[in-house]
Structure 1
Amino acid sequence: MKLIIVRSGSALLFSEFGTRHVQVGDVVLLAAQTLCGAEPEGSVTTTTIYLDRDYLIDQVFWQYAAQFCDRHNARDFFEARYSTPAQIVRIGEDRAAHLMPWLDELASLRLDGPQPEQFLRAQALLSQCSTSLLLS
């Protein structure tokens, strides 16, 4: 799965849903092997995170375990909520601004390539971002 967070500016996005306008506070959710393109309207800044679908289901399950009987319930919830291969979720500018420090730190950890001593911090940041985005 690919998560594209629009951090500044706007663009026209082309995907399975046709052409849509995206702007700050929008998150584009794309299933694996879903084609997507964009045409910036002036300047646009995005952060893209590639995540394994099973990883996301595990994140949802463990963060909200009290709401699910087992991992299969979390998978069913995930599949019902994110059944189409291309979606735009409007989280709003305030929520996007809340995510920016996590996204910045996550990106900075990757500058020198994967470092084993940074794994736990990257895992925590990724968990915070993905769960916050997917359950908004």
Structure 2
Amino acid sequence: MVDLHAAPDSQNGYEHSSSRDGSQEWGKTNESIKQTVQVIDFLTTRYAKSSSLYAVELLNEPRSPGTTLESLNKYYKDGYEAVRKHSSIVFVVLSNRLGPSMPRELFPLANGLMGSVIDVHYYSIF
């Protein structure tokens, strides 16, 4: 599985997502979405022919409200198409947003994307 953890301008403001100072700017411009799709296209081009590639996760843990549902849906549609250019069989994984968001907000989008999976991260203590 290829899982994109660090998108240009950071999708969640955490250090494991390309942010050094907590800023979260990903998706605020079409340019950051375009660059991220280009990365997915590059990675899928490279690994699509490998029999061990099972899935591509388009973005790890985008955080709400900084990452809007509108920008995330746009990216997920474009990223899905980038993967499908190179493989019709790998799963395309869509990560839900961390923070205040609706747990099922990606259902309408995923319902129309064959071979998509929603990755839900629930963090709880005790």
- TM-score scaled to structure 1, two decimals? 0.21
Going by fraction, where is strand more abundant, 1 or 2?
A: 1
Going by fraction, where is helix more abundant, 1 or 2?
A: 1
State which structure, 1 or 2, has the greater radius of gyration over its C-alpha atoms.
1
With a CA cutoff of 8 Å and minimum separation of 6, indicate the structure with the bigger relative contact order: 1
